[in-house]
Amino acid sequence: GAGVSQSPRYKVAKRGQDVALRCDPISGHVSLFWYQQALGQGPEFLTYFQNEAQLDKSGLPSDRFFAERPEGSVSTLKIQRTQQEDSAVYLCASSLVFGPVRGYTFGSGTRLTVV
């Protein structure tokens, strides 16, 4: 596609519910990142894939968070037993190459509200 597509745009979950957030990167983009942006803060790194390999998951806040990219294209971020502190905008970004010397293309994000 023309850009990075994320779905759903908005998600309201009851505390304790499991959610799955989808990211469809630009076709052929090797690198894929997930970021979490809490209100009033800058985006914070969650995890990074190069093709299907998850190279860095150091930013995942707890073992309730899980991400996958099984075929090296679409990625899913899953949050189990959601808590109120999980409320945030979840951004996905992709890049054609590995490395930070080109700008990343971001999706519009999924705004998760846990009630």
Partner 1 sequence: ILNVEQSPQSLHVQEGDSTNFTCSFPSSNFYALHWYRWETAKSPEALFVMTLNGDEKKKGRISATLNTKEGYSYLYIKGSQPEDSATYLCACPAGGTSYGKLTFGQGTILTVHP
Contact positions toward partner 1, by CB under 8 A? 3-4, 31, 33, 35, 40-45, 48, 55-56, 58-59, 91, 93, 95, 98-109
Kindly state the smallest distance separating residue 3's Cβ from partner 1, in Å.
7
Q: In the 3-class helix/strand/coil scheme, how is the chain assigned residue by residue? A: CCCCEEECCEEEECCCCCEEEEEECCCCCCEEEEEEECCCCCCEEEEEEECCEEEECCCCCCCCEEEECCCCCCEEEEECCCCHHHCEEEEEEEECCCCCCCCCEECCCEEEEEC
Give 16 or 98: the residue with its C-beta nearer to partner 1. Answer: 98
For residues 66 and 104, which CB has a smaller minimum distance to partner 1 in the complex?
104
Choose between 17 and 111: whose C-beta lies nearer to partner 1.
Answer: 111
